[in-house]
């Protein structure tokens, strides 16, 4: 299992707590230290809709004024690769699946 995110994010912390309580081994990839590239993002998008992966509610989105740019899908993907803070968190790779965000009910079903 690989978990991508930022340790200071409250949603990531909830997900990590849940996974640790289940005693599941994982590798944590912190966006602050290891950038997620466009190839990895496109790999995730084979399983997850761009609307799910692209965080248009966060501070980074507002700060960059991306709404004003009316980005198409390729533009959004380029921005995700440039600014990993735009990726909804966490992203988990587990048994061939890509899981985005944290919902306790959903995690109980999967893990």
Catalytic residue list: 9
90: closest CA among 27, 8, 1, 15? 15
Note the Cα 23 to chain centre separation in Å: 22
User: Three-class SS of residue 5?
Assistant: strand
**74: its two tokens:** 């390729």
**15: its two tokens:** 């997900």
Between CA 110 and CA 92 the distance in angstroms is 11
């Amino acid at each position: 299992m690989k978990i991508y995110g930022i340790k200071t994010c409250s949603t990531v912390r909830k997900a990590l707590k849940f996974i640790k309580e289940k005693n599941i081994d994982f590798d944590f990839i912190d966006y602050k230290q290891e950038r997620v590239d466009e190839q990895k993002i496109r790999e995730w998008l084979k399983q997850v809709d761009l609307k799910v992966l692209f965080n248009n509610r966060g501070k980074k989105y507002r700060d960059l004024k991306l709404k004003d740019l009316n980005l198409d899908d390729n533009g959004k993907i380029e921005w995700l690769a440039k600014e990993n803070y735009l990726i909804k968190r966490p992203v988990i790779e587990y048994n061939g699946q890509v899981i985005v965000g944290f919902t306790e009910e959903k995690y109980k079903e999967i893990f």
